[in-house]
Structure 1
């Protein structure tokens, strides 16, 4: 996920950050208010790790799961639609109705034996 998603949905990520970094408090997160640099500085102060280690920890945390209430957010939905364009065939639009591409009625066979 991108840091922008985290900062725009800051409150939704509190629990995940508190689980990841038990040294943090809810007050720390309120004070940081979605600013990555401020979070890094606070974690350096609390953990004693250097800036590079903390930045790497945050990068690794960003690869984790997104809280479900963020998935329901319009900004996240729009970002996901835009990201899906990378995997689309030429001429297909991420906002188009998929039914015109002929695969909506196909039956998926989990065993791989065909349709």
Structure 2
């Protein structure tokens, strides 16, 4: 993960970092607005580890894939919807009528009956 991406989605990443280092308060992380050096200082202070160790742990965490919690965070809803357009084949209208499936006019059977 690139830190510029992390900083762009800071509220979502702050939650994940607070889960990774539970000694760090999420509110404290949110106030840092994604400033990397301040995040390292906050992790070091909250956990009692040396700053270099906290920095190394943050780098190790950063080398992983973006957490699903971040990718699916509600702050990214609009971006995720825009990105989903890549999966619609060219020429297909996503708002087209689904009559081609043939079951729109068939009523559902009553409850408990086949």
Q: TM-score normalised to the size of structure 2?
A: 0.57
Contact 1:40–1:51 under 8 Å retained in 2? yes
Query: Whose radius of gyration is greater, 1 or 2?
Result: 2
Q: CA RMSD in A?
A: 2.2
**1:60 corresponds to:** 60
Unaligned runs of 5+ in 2: 84-114
Q: Unaligned regions of 5+ residues in structure 1, if any?
A: 78-115
Using CA pairs under 8 Å that are at least 6 residues apart, name the structure with larger relative contact order, 1 or 2: 2
Q: Distance in 1 between matches of 2:33 and 2:22?
A: 18
Q: CA deviation at 1:17?
A: 0.6
Secondary structure, aligned partner of 1:7: helix
Shift of 1:54: 0.6
The number of aligned residues is 75
Please state how far the C-alpha of 1:64 moved relative to its aligned partner: 2.2
TM-score, length-normalised on structure 1?
0.57
